[in-house]
Structure 1
C-alpha cells in the first residue's frame, strides 16, 4: 500500500490502486477500476492512487459551485455548436473558481508523497461512465504526463476535472442521453520514462481474428501512437506458441521523452532512427505473453496500452476492444 493512502470506505477521497477492482467504476472511473484489477492480477502496473469521483463532488460542494455547474452543463442545444461552446465556456469558468478543500488537498498530497521524493507522475482522467459497454469516453478527458511537484499535481487534478465539461465530452454525453450528473475520478501514477511504448490488441481489430494478437510500437511515450502522430511498427502474433507471424515497420519521425527538467520533451528522430525496428522478436513474444495473461483474466479481447523502460514492461491501461472487423 502507498504510504498516506487509506483503504477504501464510502467516504474515502484517495484510494490506492491495489484497493480497487473492476467493480469500483463508480468510485475510480473505468480506467482507475481496471488498473486496480490489473494490479490485483499481478500485472506490472506503475504505482499510484486514485482521487475518487466522490472527492470531485466534495470539492464542488465545498466551493458552493455544484448547482451552478449543473445548470451550466444543462443548457441544452448540444447539436448547436454555439450553444455547446457557451455551455463549455461557462462550465470552464466555474471550474476555474474551484478551490480544492484543505483536507482533500492534504489527502492528495499524502498519496503523492507516498510515491517517493520529487517523483514525476502521470495525472489521468477516469470518468465513471468511461469504457462502459454502451458508452465510450476514451480519449475525451485530459491526461497530463511528467507532472512534478505539489502545486502542479493539484493543478493537474483540477484540469482533469475541468475536462469533464469540454465541448466534446458535453456533446457526447448529450448524444448518449446521459442526464445524470457527471463525475470524474483522477489517477495519479508514477511516470514511466518510456523508451518504447504503444498499444496491444489481444485480437486482430481489423479482422476480428481472435487467434492473433496485434502490437503497435514506437519510440518514447505512447501518446504519439494513440494520437496517430507517427506510423508505428506493427507486429502480428499467432497466439499458438506464441509465434511472430509478421512485422511491418512504420515511420517514427518523432518521440516524446522526459527532458533534463523532468518535463515532456518532443524530439525529432533522424531518418535512420525513424526507420529502426522498435522491438526484437523475443521482446514481441514476451509482450504478447503479457497480453495473453490480460486476455485470459478478462475473458474477452482487450485494448492494452504498454510501455518499456530500463528493461521492464509496464501495463498502463486495459479496456475491451470496442470495434472489431
Structure 2
C-alpha cells in the first residue's frame, strides 16, 4: 500500500488543485490531457494513503471536503517552499553559506548587532542567519565546538586552541559600581576585599558546557547572585541586589543618571581584551556571509559600537 510520502508529490498536489479549480473530474482530465479513469485512480490512491475523502462525490461537481481543503492549503505552502529551496540552492552555488551562525557575547551591544543583521538582510542573501547568546568562555566554546561560524566578544589567551583566526575588537574597562542605597555606596574608600566580601556579588553564569568556566572579580567565600547575562547583571546592581564590576560602556548611562555609584577599590581595575574569531581558512575558502561580516568588523566605528561606544557617525 502506498504511504503519504509516496503519493503526495508536487505533481499530485498540482493535479488536485486543477480538479478543485475545474469543478469536475471530467473537466480536470481534459485540462490535464488525461483520461478520466486515470485521474480518478490517482485521486483514490491519494485518498487511500491518507485514509480520508478529499472530494465529495455525491453530486456532479467535484467539491472539496474539509480534509481536501486543508490538504490544498498546506500543499500550496509546500510547493512555495520547494520553489524557495530551489532558489536558495541556486544562490548557495554562488558561494553563500546555507546557514551562518554567530555567537554573540553578552557584553556586545545588541542594537549594533541588529543593525548589522539588518544590513546583511538588505542584500537578500540565500544564507539563513542565526544568533547565539553566549557568555564568557561559552562564546569561544560555541566556535571551537563547531556550533558557530563567527564569535564576537571572545576573551582569548595564549592557551586558546589553534586553528582559529582572531582580530582585536577593543579593550573593555570595568568599574566597581553599586546602587546609591547599597551599603558600599557610603563605605570608606578605597574599598578593601575584606569589606567587599561582606556583601553579595552579582555574577554572570558562564555559558560554557565543557571545560573550566570563567569569572571576573569574584572573591573567595563571597555570597553570589548569578544571573544570565550582562543586562541582567546591570539591572540587579541598579536594584541594589548586589555589587560588582561592570563594563563602563554598559554602565555609564546609569552612572551618569545617578542610578549607580562608582567606588574606588584597593585591587587593580579590571580590563578585558575583547576579540572576534573564526575558524582558520584561506580567503578563497571562506563563504560570502563570513567575508561580509569580517569586512564590516574591520571598521573601527563598528568595533567601537559593538562595545557600546556610540559616535557621531552611525553604522
Q: TM-score range by the shorter chain?
A: under 0.3
Higher RCO (CA-CA < 8 Å; seq separation 6+): 2
Higher helix share: 2
TM-score (norm 2): 0.25
Higher strand share: 1
Q: Which has the larger radius of gyration?
A: 2
